[in-house]
Structure 1
């Protein structure tokens, strides 16, 4: 094959390949090093024919951030007339909905992520400034798909008009708010999936295609294989047929397959020389990623199916593989929280179903299809599953078979979990609070006020405590008659907690009586009178506080987009006084904490599940899911059950692993 005519004259082309596998403040992404080596070997090998001096490989200390890093990219592509190719593999984050490529020194969150790492806007400007006929971007990182929203030319002009280019193509390992994965395990030859599948498509060839493989055909082949293997779905954008660029020879073509070929499988690739060394201040570190209004830690999860091993995302939380017991994938996001009773996990999904899963294996026992999404946690009492849906209905299902016993049409959205006490089902709707007979589903009473968006009720000693869009109510459980109303706080969406004569509840607006200008507050009310006992300034508390052994645990998120504070936190308060014991800063927290065996468990919008020391707030371990986590965890017999926006229900070992991260 070395005697074949070159595919192109690359003397006026340049490829810049950047790979970051080690980080100072973020989990390592060691498979990125293998993927970088394979990509370099592919381009300079006999299938693609790039001269080594036209391929610059930046890794380790060659990609440390400096004030001149964007200028180094400008210099690398300066004078390029034909092909400009940029490739990145490593961590990716969003900051202000802009992709940032993580360099070694990138922090976990905050505005410095953008100044220490490499915003993709810097890459885009370097490519816009060069006169290359064809511009190719390959991004193997989380959230890469967001770059499709911006072209490689100014909005006022297309690529051809402004740069005289034939076109541009961007291949991304993930969607806008999706993660990219890499192979699990600690072996030295583990790879990132997107790069692996792209290179495998080239090295194996595509039967029935001509002797030269266009970039679009390679992408299609890789995307098809990724879908079959249930890996994350890649995305692409194209300007002016740039995907027709012939990247490689087709090994499956008779004229090519007869020639010798050694391949670039892990351990065999030959990395080219770095090429013209960047001048002083060139890329030197590794790392970068972030976003302001809410940090999306691209933490990936295990892909489990028939024979499919666990996989990690390109923003993994150094979670040991043994943590995952099983993963069950539904048809849509799992916002609902699980309920575990007698060895069965009951949970809803945005695919309109209520599921019953074996708690030990994750196998489906049954599924009941409603008319719309099931966002609330089911409640299981005396062999009956009670669940509300966004089809404006409440269902009673046989816990063993899933067969419907009754359904009640409320005429109201049901987004919150029902509470069942003494043969009555209490549930909050958009406009009403309902009390239904648990056996027949007949309405016993309904409470109506001028408020909306009622929370799940808490029922203690014959009193129903419920929050609404503006107030907290105490209702007589038998009649629905109002006993008291606390009305100085707005957005009382969370489910109240009532313990030892005190009602604890969070909000999404500040309480004037606390004298706070914070985004939200947590407060304690006398259960008998509704009088406030104490208030604590907090961020938006979206779900039910948890009270264990005199300590109140809450999760919150920062609704102030302009704030330099972390996007979210977990806080422990003294239940008697409201004094803070500790705070763990993280991404947005929408769920309620679960507490057991000395640990606090919580999911975040940073695509992760955390276990924190209940006494100190120190991080014990973190597990990376494939997308955001709004679900509240349930912990039973040493197993954490939780849902995720990646359409999955997870069962995680609660007692494996530990770390030394400190709370704020």
Structure 2
């Protein structure tokens, strides 16, 4: 019998099932724009396997750090519960396999462009999907959405599947079938097969027994009959048996966007009505009265009855307030109509009253606060100064000399934007998307493109100084020191370059892959983290190793943070480790209440956001907790200016201001601009680092935004 509740979710109905478990439509959790979630419950045979549970917890929490258009966001999880479960964004549309069965072959130029962009975001985050297929692509109103990324790996190398193959025949890359190897290029193979199915209505390797299909993948050319030649040529490249011959997702985007006639709008006409119908049904589900079992009526099987009240997202306990200040509870956003303001030409966030929670919670040995209160109070209201929107989702920004430098995920450009006015100073065009965070040294800004090139650009006019190719499967991160610029590639090498000429100075091999993210440089040392959680300290001038730390025994999360002689890192197993930057000697370690999302060392404090929804402030010298504040899931960055801690939250998107001494909330403001952003993208995704300068805060989403935070 289906459960009535899974974690905080009330079960409305079963959506389906697969090899790993059953999927339910649930309501009542947090983080979803409409209160609904797809909740996957793991099958008992997997839940009983300890190795699987550990891998599932790691992959679920890694997936929670990935967000963006085309990706079903992870909302919450119960990886430690029995059975374990995972809640993701619910997409009301049909799957791609359902759409093709119902409406026949589809025009795939827009579909392919959007899926390639989503796949690129997954890869840049250090993950691969491993089971991309038509049933794992949902057709949403704003575009296709990839589901179940990062989860298939949890099934691999357990006692249940050690002799089997993970994936679906016809979409499994040849290198995995032959050698058990799988990386980002294997996802490109699956994408090619998915698009071929969408364009022709059939798998390019036919149907039949899975073993027979696998043999065709290894020995025969794909059948692309009936597909337009320019698209067929691209898909044939994606399906190359040699992974090195396949294009990157960024190249697929570029090729599809450049085809004659452009890319058609989304959604396709045949699907538009069906997506709209399912979206209306999803809105009605919020008021759905679920079927429950009354054991008293039927002791053996139970009689199915209906509850009297509709399920709703849990709300905070009511706080005392004057009777004249009653706040009506709004309908879920999915039920609200959307209409842009009459003055749609002005890109300003209107002044409003903010809801601020100042209720104190008891905590042993330290202060604790929550943002869950419901009384009204006049607070500083950060107002939008300007918005820079080149028509694409932007990457992380770097500020230097009053200019913000940032790249675009879509149009292969690096932008220089005046921080005071939002005016574009110049734009530099690279060969592929510039999604990572640039670095500035002297009169040069350095940026890495997704296909593995390091670009040096003049800060004055945007002219190219030099470019250097770098091996990369998922992106390159860049840092700058006093005399050298450093590039960290996903091939496991750290490189040092002369900033004036681009001449290679040294190369350091870590022995394993390195994820994208921060590469701190401090006290003449470059700090590089590997995928397996080993922290390397490398001499910035020579590339020689100084020390390495691998004493966590756990899986590390996020990037290291360095300040004032201390380097900190967090783990999936709830630990924060503090090391001396000079020697790598461990100063202290502390276990907190959840898996560590990210760690930031600022001044004499270490700020840590955990999966338990709290932001912690620890003493940098001793690790003792100073305070904690409940700020919710999806924190995307921390900045400290004076006595204020600014934290960005992405579920939903808000900028929070806390007292750095006590953790007491000061104010919060939604980071959204309905008059400037299209419907479906109204919840802006905050940059992984908030930029604070003077009285202004900057963050990126579908554009670059500037807010006045201290009127």
User: What TM-score does the superposition give when structure 2 sets the normalisation length?
Assistant: 0.48
Asked if 1:307 is matched to 2:365, the reply is: no
- Cα distance in 1, alignment partners of residues 340 and 620 from structure 2: 37
How many Å apart are 1:554 and its aligned residue? 2.8
Alignment check: 8 A CA contact 2:406 2:415 kept = yes
Q: Equivalent residues in 2 for 1:28-177 (5 A)?
A: 92-96=34-38, 146-149=91-94
- RMSD, aligned α-carbons: 4.7
Structure-1 residue corresponding to 2:689:
632
Q: 1:240 to 1:532 in 2, by over 3 A?
A: closer
Asked if 1:441 corresponds to 2:510, the answer is no
Alignment of 1:245-324 (within 5 A): 307-310=345-348, 323-324=383-384
Deviation at 1:354, TM superposition (A): 1.5
- 2:596 and 2:535 map into 1 onto residues whose CA distance is 15
Q: What is the CA distance between 1:574 and its match in structure 2?
A: 0.9
Is residue 525 of structure 1 aligned with residue 579 of structure 2? yes
Change (3 A) 1:631 1:328: farther
SS at match of 1:238: helix
Question: For residue 332 of structure 1, what is the aligned residue in structure 2?
Answer: 392
Deviation at 1:110, TM superposition (A): 8.3
Partner of 1:371: 431
Cα distance in 1 for residues equivalent to 2:700 and 2:35 = 22
1:556-575 equivalent positions in 2, closer than 5 A = 556=610, 558=611, 565=612, 568-575=613-620
Q: Deviations over 1:436-455 (max 9, x none)?
A: 10111111011113221155
- Of 565, 588, 605 in structure 2, the residue corresponding to residue 501 of structure 1 is 565
Match of 2:547 among 461, 476, 484: 484
1:613 to 633, 648, 659: 659
Tell whether the 8 Å contact from 1:437 to 1:443 is kept in structure 2 after alignment.
Answer: yes
Partner of 1:36: none
Change over 3 Å in CA distance of 1:599–1:411 after alignment to 2: same
TM superposition shift of 1:553: 1.4
Aligned partners of 1:395, 1:569: CA distance in 2, in Å?
Answer: 39
Say if 2:523 is the partner of 1:461.
Answer: yes
Matched residues in 2 for 1:303 and 1:412: separation?
A: 45
Distance in 2 of aligned mates of 1:609 and 1:301: 24
Contact 1:354 1:368 survives alignment (8 Å): yes
8 Å CA contact 1:301, 1:311 repeated in 2: no
The 2-side partners of 1:406 and 1:304 are apart by 48
| Deviation for aligned residue 1:587 | 4.1
CA distance in 1, matches of 2:565, 2:597: 23
Give the distance between the partners of 2:468 and 2:414, measured in 1 at CA: 16
**Structure 1 pair 420/301, CA: closer, same or farther in 2 (3 Å)?**
farther
Q: Is the 8 A contact 1:554 1:592 kept in 2?
A: no
1:239-291 deviation per Cα after TM superposition (whole angstroms, max 9, x unaligned): 59989xxxxxxxxxxxxxxxxxxxxxxxxxxxxxxxxxxxx99769987799x
2:512 to 451, 463, 477: 451
Tell me what 1:219 maps to: none
1:427–1:584 CA distance, 2 compared to 1 (3 A): farther
* Counterpart Cα distance in 2 of 1:234 and 1:654: 42
User: Could you give the per-residue CA deviations for residues 152-182 of structure 1, whole angstroms, max 9, x where no partner exists?
Assistant: xx99x99xxxxxxxxxxxx99877989xxxx
Tell me how far 1:377 sits from its aligned partner. Answer: 1.6
Aligned match of 1:404 in 451, 454, 464? 464
Q: Deviations over 1:527-572 (max 9, x none)?
A: 2332211112244445551322x1111334x3xxxxxx4xx44221
Give the number of the structure whose alpha-carbon radius of gyration is greater: 1
> What SS does the aligned partner of 1:440 have?
coil
2:481 pairs, out of 421, 429, 432, with 421
Structure-1 residue corresponding to 2:223: none
Is the CA contact (8 Å cut-off) linking 1:95 and 1:289 kept in structure 2?
A: no
Structure 1 residue ranges without an equivalent (≥5): 1-66, 71-89, 99-108, 112-142, 159-170, 179-231, 244-279, 291-295, 511-517, 559-564, 657-664
**Alignment partners' CA distance in 2, 1:307 and 1:96:** 37
User: 1:537 aligned to 591, 598, 604, which one?
Assistant: 591
Contact 1:552 1:574 in 2 (8 A): yes
User: By how many angstroms is 1:149 displaced?
Assistant: 3.9
Counterparts in 2 of 1:289 and 1:450: CA distance versus 1, 3 Å: farther
CA distance in 1, matches of 2:311, 2:547: 60
Distance 2:692 2:618 in 1: 21
Alignment partners' CA distance in 2, 1:289 and 1:371: 49
8 Å Cα contact 1:303-1:309 kept in structure 2: no
Kindly indicate whether the alpha-carbon contact (under 8 Å) linking 1:569 and 1:589 is maintained by their aligned counterparts in 2.
Answer: no
Is the contact between residue 635 and residue 647 of structure 2 (CA under 8 Å) also seen in structure 1?
no
Query: How far, CA to CA, are the matches of 2:276 and 2:614 in structure 1?
Result: 46
In the alignment, the residues of structure 2 paired with residue 598 and residue 477 of structure 1 have an alpha-carbon distance, to the nearest angstrom, of 33
Q: Is the 8 A contact 1:301 1:624 kept in 2?
A: no
Contact 1:172/1:234, CA 8 A, preserved across alignment: no
Once the two structures are TM-superposed, the CA of residue 632 in structure 1 deviates from its matched residue by 1.0
Q: Deviations over 1:166-216 (max 9, x none)?
A: xxxxx99877989xxxxxxxxxxxxxxxxxxxxxxxxxxxxxxxxxxxxxx
Matched, 1:655 2:710: yes
Match of 1:623 among 662, 670, 684: 670
Give CA-to-partner distance per residue, 1:560-592, whole Å, 9 cap, x none: xxxxx4xx4422111111122222333444644
Shift in alpha-carbon separation, 1:330–1:380, aligned structure 2, 3 A: same
- Is 2:410 aligned against 1:347? no
1:579 paired residue number = 624
Q: What is the rounded CA distance, in whole Å, between the counterparts of 2:381 and 2:341 in structure 1?
A: 12
Partner of 1:553: 607
